[in-house]
Chains A and B, each alone.
Chain A
Amino acid sequence: MDTIPVSYYLVLSGLLFTCGVLGFLIKRNIITIFMSIELMLNGVNLAFVAFAAQWHSLSGQIFVFFVMVVAAAEATVGLAIIIAVYRTRQTLNVDQVNLLKL
């Protein structure tokens, strides 16, 4: 019966979250920024499930479901916003969406 310290899973979760934050900061395409947000959410999900395994409590997994549902709803509305922005500005570069007036 071999075991792994839970901190290994937490380190992986932290690294995924870090990559998400980096992507959010350095990318200039709206869709890629949005995908970095999804990456952050996935990192957090891994931390939830790791702790649920450590404390033998299924509430961690239930919370993962709610995170996934909220992420799906947010992805839907966010992509609709991206399509609306593209229709008016004809660009997907966030640096060019910097004026309230068209």
Chain B
Amino acid sequence: MFHIILFFFFGAICMAGAINLLVQSHPINSALSLITVMAALAGEYLLLGAEFVAAVQVIVYAGAVMVLFVITIMLLNAGKEEHTKGSRVAILIGVPGVLIAAVLVTWTLVSRGQTGSVAIGALPGSPQEIARLLFHEFLLPFEVTSVLILIAIMGAVVLASRPEAIAHHPAKADQPDSAPSKRKDAPQLVASGVGSGKER
């Protein structure tokens, strides 16, 4: 009985957070509801016995990736969304369509699904066994993902750096003043209306 109560408790928090993400107009509220969804999902993973995955979900997803999102929202001073014509059309057609698809999938799964049952904490997801799998059978994907992360780091550093920093590269030393003059009207990111002020 505890299993069902806990499942519905965490499941309700997940769905409330997901719907709140859709409904809120300010991105910071959407980010905070996504964080609660991830924390509740960590609870669901614990119910399934995947304790290491739950810990990694909290550390990596809720504790690092979402911090990046929140920092970006704070840095770019994202305000409330405006509703354009395209978004009204999307809401009018998209919401009923996707809801019908969701109801269809749910009904199929619940009535015709041939999946079994699982007890609380059924899977022995201890770190030792996961490490054994990760470094024996899944060693190649593990190494490939490390190269992927390296590429992502390099890409992010290049994309987010200021254009003057790249324009001062020795290969482009013959045009030192074209880049700054194009950028003189682009507002400095930090000084442009920082804080949560005017859109409140």
Contacts and interface: CB of A to CB of B under 8 A. Distances in A.
Interface of A: 1-12, 14-16, 18-23, 25-29, 31-32, 34-36, 38-39, 42, 45-46, 49-50, 52-54, 56, 58-59, 61-62, 64-66, 68-77, 79-84, 86-88, 90, 92-93, 95
A49 B122 CA distance: 11
B152 A4 contact: no
Contacts of B155: 76-77, 80
A42 B37 contact: yes
5 contacts: A39-B34, A46-B41, A49-B44, A68-B56, A74-B152
Contacts, number: 250
A77 B21 contact: no
B116 A27 contact: no
B180 interface: no
B159 A31 contact: no
A18 B101 contact: yes
Nearest to A83: B160
Contacts of B49: 53
A98 B49 CA distance: 46
B162 to A, nearest CB: 8
Given A14-B102, A25-B94, A49-B53, 20 more contacts: A14-B109, A15-B102, A23-B22, A27-B81, A29-B78, A29-B81, A31-B69, A31-B76, A42-B61, A49-B45, A58-B129, A72-B61, A73-B151, A75-B69, A77-B155, A79-B68, A79-B69, A83-B189, A87-B189, A90-B187
Contacts of A21: 98
B102 to A, nearest CB: 4
Contacts of A59: 133, 137-138
Contacts of B152: 72-74, 76-77
A36 B23 CA distance: 12
Given A76-B152, A87-B186, A71 B37 contact: no
B181 interface: no
Given A22-B98, A66-B145, A79-B156, A4 B118 contact: yes
A7 B31 contact: no
Most buried by A among B75, B141, B152, B187: B152
Given A12-B44, A72-B64, A62 B134 contact: yes
B125 A7 contact: no
Nearest to B150: A73
